[in-house]
């Protein structure tokens, strides 16, 4: 049997056809030219997952402002997904408007979403994929710990800022303890550039310079 290699950061997102609450979709082609976040959850009709879907939906417009779509996934039938999002709308007064993949286990296996030491359900994985279909980040959480959607949104903003300005993003950006909402200038690669750095930017040293954008 051919061994399935779990995708890594920098890899192309695997080409898969999926059944969703919005019909059949082909990934990553469905979101060509857009960022997208595929996130898995352990199961429908569970409390932590419900809080996560509510939180994602509350921020969905903000994700879309940054050219980013959301798509969920669990090893549940599409009928279960539909009933669950109906429950969320009826009881929590919020319509889930992004699609949810109904997986048989095939996609979870391809993406490495089932971790045997944490049971047979999918863990809380997050794949951030860029407009070219390249995986830019992966996050994994156990079933008992819900995700922070503001951090995931921050990552999208950080990636886009990094690409637009050719910079790196500091810890806790845009509220970094050292450079505030500034961004990091890539380290100099030669002596001449290193000498110029402290005249061009605000620096702690030639290898640690930052600027506002």
- Catalytically annotated residues: 49
How far is residue 99 from each of residues 34, 54, 57, 139, 206, measured CA to CA in Å? 15, 14, 11, 20, 47
CA quadruple 95, 98, 104, 108: dihedral, nearest 10 = -120
What is the token pair recorded at 61? 């417009």
Strand ranges in 21-155 using DSSP code E only, listed in sequence order: 23-27, 35-40, 68-74, 100-102, 124-129, 135-141
Which residue shows structure tokens 């990091």?
A: 184
Give the Cα separation of 62 and 114 in Å (integer): 30
Pairing type for strands 124-129 and 202-205 reads unpaired
**What ranges in 100-169 are assigned the alpha helix state H?**
106-111, 149-165
What is the token pair recorded at 153? 């949104």
């Amino acid at each position: 049997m051919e061994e399935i290699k779990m995708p890594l950061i920098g890899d192309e997102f695997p080409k898969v056809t999926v059944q969703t609450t919005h019909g059949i979709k082909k990934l990553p082609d469905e979101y060509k030219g857009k960022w997208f976040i595929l996130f898995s959850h352990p199961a429908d009709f569970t409390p932590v997952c419900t809080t996560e879907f509510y939180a994602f939906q509350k921020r969905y417009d903000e994700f879309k402002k940054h050219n980013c779509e959301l798509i969920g996934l669990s090893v549940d039938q599409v009928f279960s997904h539909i009933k669950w999002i109906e429950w969320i709308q009826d009881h929590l007064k919020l319509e889930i408007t992004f699609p949810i993949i109904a997986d048989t286990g095939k996609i979870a296996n391809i993406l490495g979403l089932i971790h045997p030491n944490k049971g047979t359900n999918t863990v809380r994985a997050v794949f951030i994929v860029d407009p070219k279909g390249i995986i830019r980040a992966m996050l994994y959480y156990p079933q008992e710990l819900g995700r922070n959607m503001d951090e995931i949104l921050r990552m999208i903003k950080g990636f886009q800022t990094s690409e637009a300005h050719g910079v790196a993003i500091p810890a806790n950006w845009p509220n970094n303890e050292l450079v505030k909402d500034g961004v990091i200038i890539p380290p100099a690669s030669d002596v001449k550039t290193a000498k110029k750095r402290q005249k061009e930017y605000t620096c702690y040293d030639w290898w640690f310079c930052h600027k506002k954008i």
